[in-house]
Amino acid sequence: MGSPLSPILGELIMDDLFEKLDQNFKDKIKFKIRFVDDSLFILNDQYFDILNFLNGYHQCLRFTFEKSFHMINFLDITVIRESDTI
């Protein structure tokens, strides 16, 4: 933290992580979006498998999740699910 390289390295690491996530869970993730280090996923199931995969990427990185069926906050917005189409 504090180094001028921190944002660049963070972006490279997150890009690599998302690429590997796509390779391993492409059929399980219906939607994903990332802004810097915040991510939002819409999943069929297997959220613990995906969380374990993310946390196994590197020992210094720890990811958490918030599970919701109808409403979740992401950045400065609230995403509300109105139907069972997704």
**DSSP per residue, 15-64:** HHHHHHHHHHHTTTEEEEEEETTEEEEEESS-HHHHHHHHHTS-TT----
The separation between the first and the last C-alpha atoms of the chain, rounded to the nearest angstrom, is 38
In the block, residue with structure tokens 């400065």: 76
Q: What is the pLDDT of residue 57?
A: 92
Structural domain boundaries of the chain? 6-80
pLDDT tens digits for range 39-73: 888 887 778 898 999 999 999 889 888 887 788 88
User: Above 60 in pLDDT, residue 86?
Assistant: no
